[in-house]
Structure 1
Amino acid sequence: MEMETITEDQKVMTAKKIKKMFGHINPKDHPEYCPIKDVMALASDKWSILIIIYLGYYPVLRFNQLKKKVYGISNKVLSERLKLLEGDGYLNRKMYPEVPVRVEYQLTDFGHSYLEKLLELTEWVTTYSDMIMANRSRYSKQ
């Protein structure tokens, strides 16, 4: 698949968006703060992305259901990611006082708004995955 040509105007507009997002942050005033590191790191790691996508497809999932769907994730990592995603507002956790305790997770409206952006990126990856794999193959043969 041939990638669309990016014009100079598009590159300039992208640079302006980046400056608008980060231009107000003075590293001297807040050297510890970085929006990418502090916000996007959690929301864009492979496990969090899969959790959010599955919770977007299935309206409510319990811990063990999520564990089965997010293949390869450990109980510890799933538990950590769920707590962090809940803390950032991407999902809600509802606990029922039963024996054994039943806990369900679902996306918040904020989580759904992020899921929409994730799906745009996922569509891009799907569109260009053959090109990416071909590039990797060419690169590994160098």
Structure 2
Amino acid sequence: MQNFHPTGNCPVRNVLCRLGDKWSMLVLITLNANGTMRFNDIHKTIADVSQRMLTVTLRTLEADGLVNRKVYAEVPPRVEYELTERGKSLIPHIEGLVVWALEQMPGIIENRKKMIQTL
């Protein structure tokens, strides 16, 4: 049995903490589907994320080496984001989760309805 100690050294806890937020996977999926994108294009694609949360999410993904940020010395400045090789290596795992979620969502919704009815 694997122990998941909260010492800060657990890779599973560490990665899930970073990717388990509301926006990270959506940003990764968006960049995978569209390739290199500017901030406003990502924001338009994920319409319900605030600019602040998108900024925080992109910075976190960049800090983990999943997203590359490229700034062009232009006026006004142009910034583009793209997946790194590490980010690309994560995509098949995310896609597996997406497929599972799409397949299982009808049953999950049905179970939730049953649970609410019993309360």
Say yes or no: TM over 0.5: yes
Question: How far apart are the structure 2 equivalents of 1:32 and 1:50?
Answer: 25
**For 1:83-98, what aligned pairs fall within 5 Å after superposition?**
83-98=59-74
Q: How far has the Cα of 1:69 moved from its partner?
A: 0.7
Local SS of the residue matching 2:81:
strand
Local SS of the residue matching 2:23:
helix
Question: How far apart are the structure 2 equivalents of 1:35 and 1:135?
Answer: 32
The answer to whether 1:81 aligns with 2:69 is no
The residue aligned with 1:43 is 19
Rg comparison, structure with higher value? 1
* Contact map agreement 2:24 2:57 (CA 8 A) in 1: yes
- Residues 100-136 of structure 1: per-residue CA shift (max 9 Å, x gap): 1000000011101111100001101111111001001
Give the counterpart of 2:36 among 60, 69, 73.
Answer: 60
Local SS of the residue matching 1:46:
coil
> 5+ unaligned residues in a row in structure 2: which ranges?
none
CA RMSD, 1 decimal: 1.6
Give the counterpart of 2:104 among 110, 128, 137.
Answer: 128
**For 1:8-47, what aligned pairs fall within 5 Å after superposition?**
19=2, 22=3, 27=5, 31-47=7-23
Q: Which amino acid aligns with 1:125?
A: A
Q: How far has the Cα of 1:42 moved from its partner?
A: 1.5
Q: Percent sequence identity over matched residues?
A: 35
Aligned length: 118
The residue aligned with 1:13 is none
Query: TM-score, normalization: structure 2?
Result: 0.91
Q: Which amino acid aligns with 1:61?
A: M
